[in-house]
Structure 1
Amino acid sequence: MANSKQAFERRRDRVRRSIQKAANGRPRLSIFRSSKQIYAQIIDDAKGHTIVSASTIEKDLKGSLKTGADVAAAAAVGKLVAERASAAGVKQVVFDRGGYQYHGRIKALAEAAREGGLEF
């Protein structure tokens, strides 16, 4: 039986392969979730660089949040990354949940990003 890290990496790679097929030149909204923080980046895979990013460790978010590891923090990061993306001229992205289930913090971040104006 594979350990949980190998299973996570398999899921992440499977999601990444399907995203590359469906991207059609759109940038990728990539999520990383740790036990204490959550991070979001919009990445242009064609050029290989990050367009915008947001996380719960930033000063403007850190002071207003109770903790960086709850649904409210994830929603705040989703709104912030959507605002920064619209300022950078990005409207449509492909959502890369990584190997995480679309549930809880990941779902809250995605819904907040949609409310902020990102389309995926």
Structure 2
Amino acid sequence: MSKQTVATARRKARVRRAIKKVANGRARLSVHRTGKQIYAQVIDDTKGLTLASASSLDKDIRADIKSGANVEAAAQIGKILAERAIKAGVKEVVFDRGAYMYHGRVKALAEAAREGGLSF
């Protein structure tokens, strides 16, 4: 493994460990981003189920966004994910940013999810 891969895995594990300490049974909003797309899902870790998900590859979203790799797309994904999570009965989540900094697309998704009705 390269040094960068090891550092990323260590950072991700550190964030996940901190989340598990404060979760108290709440679902986890997990974010994954690539150079071209962004994905988010609400996961119930006690049951091991995905309760709601949204990504820039969803057919209804692709028509509205120009690219999946910008802040506007991330904000739209956050709003849609919040709607789907509330429909599934989830209002409180713990935000799992993974190994990514809380900046740019990750921050836009989180703020849009908060505006959509999720609390974290």
TM-score range, shorter chain: over 0.9
* Matched residue count: 119
Unaligned runs of 5+ in 1: none
SS in 2 for 1:91: coil
Q: TM-score if structure 2 supplies the norm length?
A: 0.97
Separation in 2, partners of 1:58, 1:37: 11
Unaligned runs of 5+ in 2: none
- Post-superposition Cα deviations, 1:23-46, rounded to whole Å, max 9, x if no partner, equal 000000000000000000000000
Identity of matched residues, %:
63
Hey, what does 2:110 align to over in structure 1? 110
SS in 2 for 1:81: helix
Question: Residue 67 of structure 1 aligns to which amino acid in structure 2?
Answer: S
Separation in 1, partners of 2:16, 2:6: 15
Q: TM-score if structure 1 supplies the norm length?
A: 0.97
Hey, what does 1:119 align to over in structure 2? 119
Hey, what does 1:66 align to over in structure 2? 66
Hey, what does 2:92 align to over in structure 1? 92
Separation in 1, partners of 2:96, 2:69: 19
For residue 63 of structure 1, report the CA deviation from its aligned partner: 1.1
> 4+ residue runs of structure 1 moved beyond 2 angstroms?
none
Separation in 1, partners of 2:12, 2:100: 8
